[in-house]
Amino acid sequence: MVAFKLGSNNKLLTVLYVIFLVLIFNAYDGETSNVAYFEAFKPVGNNAKKVAIIGAGVGGASTAYYLSKAFANSSVHLQTTIYERSFHIGGRCRALEIPYGNRTYVVEVGASIFIDVNYHMTNASKEFGFKFRKPPADMRVGIWDGEQFVFEESKWYYVNVLKILWKYGLAPMRVKNMTRDKVRRFLSVYNYPSPFTDIRSLSHALGLGNEPQHTAEHYLKNLNNVYHLYLSHFVEPATRVNYGSNLDDIHALGGFISLAPEGAKGVEGGNYQVMVEFVNRSGATVKLGNAVKKVRKISDYGKTKYEVVGSDEKAEVFDAVVLAAPIQFTNIHFENIKVNHLPEIPYRTLHVTFVIGRLNWKYFKHSSYESLPEYILTTKTSTKFNSIGTSHILPDGNAIIKIFSEKELMDGDLDELFERWSWVYRKVWKAYPQLLPNQTYPPVEIEDGFYYVNSFEPLISAMETEAVSGNNIARLIHERWEKFDIKAKL
Ligand SMILES: Cc1cc2nc3c(=O)[nH]c(=O)nc-3n(C[C@H](O)[C@H](O)[C@H](O)COP(=O)(O)OP(=O)(O)OC[C@H]3O[C@@H](n4cnc5c(N)ncnc54)[C@H](O)[C@@H]3O)c2cc1C
Ligand SMILES: *[C@@H]1O[C@H](CO)[C@@H](O)[C@H](O)[C@H]1NC(C)=O
Ligand SMILES: *[C@@H]1O[C@H](CO)[C@@H](O)[C@H](O)[C@H]1NC(C)=O
Ligand SMILES: *[C@@H]1O[C@H](CO)[C@@H](O)[C@H](O)[C@H]1NC(C)=O
Ligand SMILES: *[C@@H]1O[C@H](CO)[C@@H](O)[C@H](O)[C@H]1NC(C)=O
Ligand SMILES: *[C@@H]1O[C@H](CO)[C@@H](O)[C@H](O)[C@H]1NC(C)=O
Ligand SMILES: *[C@@H]1O[C@H](CO)[C@@H](O)[C@H](O)[C@H]1NC(C)=O
């Protein structure tokens, strides 16, 4: 019945390899390749500027895209080169194709959802002609505390409303109001008058200065006892599934963001495709499978420049460098660049496990398989896993199940959790910063002309916020060079 064991892995590699080939051909194809090749050795004119972007996740890809837009009509001729260590574009956005029966199912291994008011992701997806994938409406959520379900959603909307009102009073409305207020404040980032250079000042300017200073637990502590039940039964399960954190170890802004999935959606076929389009439309040269090993600040006739060395051992000099990956995972040797002063940002390790099979209703103390909720979130007393979600229900009665956990789920764990299972795929991520309160943020511009997209991540780590940061850095670079160019002309 199950025609493969680890086959989908190979399938994924094939797909990614094809994407890789397409990109390589595009980057080195005919005329373009010659132009790129000769321009690298040509003395760069006054109006030509070279930017290196390190990393082709959403941060790096969006920077390239917004740079190309910003300089579209400029007299400054921009040449962008993207270095990407892996053989694919997307970084922490990655799709896995699972062939099963007579079709192939696509699941997100990394970032899966964004919301309507995530304007960069939403607008770009629309502009690029992608279809949205929305979570099916009839799926039920259950909250598991490690021993039993403390709450289970019914298929009937009004039953749920009554159940929630009965159990938690007005707490949900109160918390929802607070969440809306935070989201509304965040939205002013899109009309921010000038590019920002400091994340802390930005959060204050948005009216969100207070929330990152406290744990979510502390921030919400003056809500009464009924509210506490709601916090541990709903709010904490949300922070656990979104950021792998409990209320006492996540800042309040992270808590509210976890609660804001109104209009949640993703791109059909995989969110990584948005990044592929960002890169494609930016016209940048893409060096896949080329990890940056060294970045050195140099002075060229009094101007600050950067020499970048890739794993292909080639050195190239750039006018600006955009680092678009968490710095501690890049293995780059920095020379003459003040990186040891950067605050350490600890990241969460997260295990993502996909399984084909049927969950064990007896483990969950249910009376039948059919009555099990499709999404299982957890309170902090559940230790084995943080969440279990049904990605696809298969025609033969099996399902593709996605599990998040702090520790690796061994085959023995799956034997317990599943009535039967036949296939497993495991991936471990350094998923996102821990979103600790009172974090010192790294600067947006670490050195003159050396920018850091992921300085935004300790405030909120998401596809959208990385695009906000990429957009902001493109604006910073544009502001500097366009003004400089105008001055030079005068
Ligand atoms: C399991 C999981 C679920 C998530 N769920 C969501 C979600 O539902 N919604 C949401 O918005 N966000 C979610 N996130 C968070 C989101 O994925 C990240 O915030 C975002 O994708 C980070 O993008 P980035 O471009 O900054 O970094 P990355 O995506 O990590 O990109 C960095 C890139 O740099 C490359 N690189 C590193 N070092 C080098 C080097 N030396 N040279 C060249 N290249 C290098 C890497 O290979 C990588 O491709 C989730 C994350 C995970 C792991
Ligand atoms: C560049 O010019 C085009 C065509 O005139 C216009 O549509 C676009 O908005 C301009 N872009 C910028 C960044 O000024
Ligand atoms: C795929 O299989 C399902 C049942 O397993 C069947 O209902 C469906 O018609 C098949 N589709 C195609 C395109 O063969
Ligand atoms: C996104 O699209 C909306 C609606 O068209 C528009 O109002 C908004 O300015 C756009 N925002 C961004 C960041 O592109
Ligand atoms: C939520 O906010 C609205 C107006 O913004 C207000 O009318 C309502 O009373 C608030 N509800 C709760 C439960 O605080
Ligand atoms: C963060 O700093 C503020 C101001 O110094 C302080 O009031 C607050 O208690 C700190 N938060 C934590 C969790 O230590
Ligand atoms: C972008 O994609 C289009 C359509 O698939 C393709 O024709 C073009 O060559 C690509 N360009 C780059 C730079 O990758």
> How many residues are given for the chain?
490
Mutate to test the pocket of ligand 3, among 102, 104, 392 (most ligand atoms within 8 A of CB): 102
Concatenate the DSSP letters of all residues of 404-450 into one string.
Answer: EESS---HHHHHHHEEEEEEEEEEEEEEEE---TTPPPPPSEEETTE
Q: Does 104 sit in the ligand 3 pocket, CB within 6 Å? A: no
Of 351, 380, 370, give the one whose Cα is nearest residue 147: 380
In a domain, 249, yes or no: yes
Crossing angle of helices 463-489 and 119-127, in 10° steps, is: 80
How many CA atoms lie within 13 Å of 175's alpha carbon, on the beta-carbon side? 33
Residues 6+ apart with CB under 8 A from 451: 320, 321, 322, 323, 444, 445, 473, 476, 477
Q: For residues 67 and 51, is the Cβ–Cβ distance under 8 A?
A: yes
**Domain boundary residue among 414, 433, 452?**
433
Q: What is the pLDDT of residue 450?
A: 98
Ligand 1 shell residues, CB under 6 Å:
54-60, 83-86, 91-93, 110-114, 291-292, 324-325, 330-332, 350, 352, 429, 431-432, 453-454, 461-464, 466
Measuring CA to CA, how many Å separate 167 from each of 27, 164, 233?
Answer: 59, 5, 10
Q: Which helix or strand (DSSP H or E) is residue 299 part of?
A: strand 292-300
446 and 428: one domain? Answer: no
251 and 235: one domain? Answer: yes
Beta bridge partners, 84, equal 288
197 and 231: one domain? Answer: yes
In a domain, 278, yes or no: yes
For the CA of 102, the closest atom of ligand 3 is 1
120 and 24: one domain? Answer: yes
What is the torsion angle, in degrees rounded to the nearest 10, for the CA atoms of residue 314, residue 315, residue 316 and residue 321?
110
In a domain, 307, yes or no: yes
In a domain, 36, yes or no: no
**Ligand 1 centroid from CA 404, angstroms:** 17
For the CA of 71, the closest atom of ligand 2 is 13
Q: What is the pLDDT of residue 305?
A: 98
Instruction: Say whether 62 sits in a helix, a strand or coil.
Output: helix
286 and 187: one domain? Answer: no
Measuring CA to CA, how many Å separate 16 from each of 13, 21, 271, 301?
Answer: 5, 9, 14, 43
Of 153, 107, 387, 134, give the one whose Cα is nearest residue 272: 107
**CATH number reported for the structural domain that contains residue 368 in this entry:** 3.90.660.20
Helices (H), 387-445: 411-417
334 vs 306: CA distance, rounded Å = 10
Q: What is the pLDDT of residue 235?
A: 93
Q: Does 395 sit in the ligand 3 pocket, CB within 6 Å? A: yes
Measuring CA to CA, how many Å separate 71 from each of 82, 127, 318, 408, 478?
Answer: 17, 19, 17, 46, 7
In a domain, 204, yes or no: yes
Q: What is the pLDDT of residue 45?
A: 52
Q: Which helix or strand (DSSP H or E) is residue 14 part of?
A: helix 7-28
Q: What is the pLDDT of residue 226?
A: 60
Mutate to test the pocket of ligand 5, among 173, 178, 179, 181 (most ligand atoms within 8 A of CB): 173
CB-CB neighbours of 105 under 10 Å: 17
331 and 236: one domain? Answer: no
Q: What is the pLDDT of residue 28?
A: 28
Measuring CA to CA, how many Å separate 230 from each of 164, 235, 296, 407?
Answer: 9, 7, 52, 27
Q: For residues 465 and 253, is the Cβ–Cβ distance under 8 A?
A: no
459 vs 435: CA distance, rounded Å = 7
208 vs 212: CA distance, rounded Å = 8
In a domain, 363, yes or no: yes
Q: Which residue has the tokens 């520790």?
A: 407
Beta bridge partners, 402, equal 354, 389
Q: What is the pLDDT of residue 27?
A: 30
104 and 75: one domain? Answer: no
Q: What is the pLDDT of residue 484?
A: 56
From atom 14 of ligand 5, which residue's Cα is the shortest distance away? 174
**Ligand 6 centroid from CA 462, angstroms:** 24
256 and 292: one domain? Answer: no
Q: How many domains does the chain have?
A: 2
Q: Which residue has the tokens 């500027």?
A: 49
355 and 475: one domain? Answer: no
243 and 358: one domain? Answer: yes
Domain that holds residue 475: 47-90+271-345+436-489
In a domain, 2, yes or no: no
From atom 12 of ligand 7, which residue's Cα is the shortest distance away? 280
Instruction: Say whether 412 sits in a helix, a strand or coil.
Output: helix
**Domain boundary residue among 433, 453, 475?**
433
Q: What is the pLDDT of residue 369?
A: 95
93 vs 290: CA distance, rounded Å = 19
In a domain, 41, yes or no: no
Q: Which residue has the tokens 């199940």?
A: 401
**CATH number reported for the structural domain that contains residue 297 in this entry:** 3.50.50.60
The pLDDT tens digits along the chain (490 residues) read: 222 222 233 333 333 333 333 332 333 222 333 333 333 434 445 689 999 999 999 999 999 999 999 999 999 999 999 999 999 999 999 999 999 999 999 999 999 999 999 999 999 999 999 999 987 777 899 999 999 999 998 878 788 888 888 888 888 888 899 999 999 999 999 999 999 999 999 999 999 999 999 999 999 887 766 688 899 999 999 999 999 999 999 999 999 999 987 789 999 999 999 999 999 999 999 999 999 999 999 999 999 999 999 999 999 999 999 999 999 999 999 999 999 889 999 999 999 999 999 999 999 999 999 999 999 999 999 989 999 999 999 999 999 999 999 999 999 999 999 999 999 999 999 999 999 999 999 999 999 999 999 999 999 999 999 999 999 999 999 999 987 555 444 4
Concatenate the DSSP letters of all residues of 359-390 into one string.
Answer: E-TTTTT-S-STTS-SEEEE-TT--S-SEEEE
205 and 323: one domain? Answer: no
202 vs 446: CA distance, rounded Å = 17
Of 138, 372, 136, 377, give the one whose Cα is nearest residue 234: 377
292 and 256: one domain? Answer: no
Q: For residues 295 and 27, is the Cβ–Cβ distance under 8 A?
A: no
Q: Using only C-alpha atoms, what is the Rg of the chain?
A: 24
